[in-house]
Structure 1
Amino acid sequence: MPLLPEARMVLHASGTWKLFVLTGYEPREWLAYSFNRAEPIPTVPECVAVLAALGYEVRGGIGWKWDATTTGTRRRMFVKVPVRLLAAPVAVPPVGGAA
């Protein structure tokens, strides 16, 4: 299974949840969306709606999975899922705000 594109949602350094679509290995290439909140954690339907607004969908049959990165003694949790481009972007009004 190809590694990219992949959607990841993290609790950003700003203290709010952000969803990124990793489309390349350079972060400046990634699409991003900020939910502008720390709580409650965005739901799967909210994330799916944001992905659709960005022109992506979850690859069939694959679910979201929690993972973590470790930098020194700091561990950062994130949720990820493989995605693919939609044939045509869907006009879905996202919740929250653009990044």
Structure 2
Amino acid sequence: MRTYTAQMSIRNGRWCLYVALMGGPVSQWPEHTFGPASVVPTPAERSRALAALGFVFTAGAEWAWEEYSERPDDDASPVRLLASVQVWSRDGGAP
């Protein structure tokens, strides 16, 4: 079964969850947008969104969070958050 990486970050003031389908154009990656970014979507909300996109968590998968600077060489740059988790296509094949 092929493993994919699902990621979630803030885009245009909203949390966006997407599944990276390497080898294909970003415009074709499945994605789900949540409400305003003032509240982080719960794990249950993320799980439902992934299921709606046709994906499930891999066995033992946990969300990992990392922060990165908007401008890497500037320590005063705003910090962004990126969450990621490993998923499988719900039907076991390519999405």
Bin of the TM-score, shorter chain as denominator length: 0.7 to 0.9
RMSD of aligned alpha carbons: 2.1
TM-score by length of 2: 0.76
CA deviation string 1:23-73 (max 9, x = no partner): 125422311111021122100000000000000011111100102344433
Q: Using the alignment, how far apart are the partners of 2:85 and 2:5 within structure 1?
A: 6
Q: Aligned residues: percent identity?
A: 27
Q: Using the alignment, how far apart are the partners of 2:61 and 2:31 within structure 1?
A: 21
Rg larger for: 2
TM-score by length of 1: 0.74
Gaps of 5+ in 1: 89-99
Moved over 2 A (4+): 68-76
Gaps of 5+ in 2: none
Residue equivalent to 2:21: 23
Q: 1:50 to 1:68 in 2, by over 3 A?
A: same
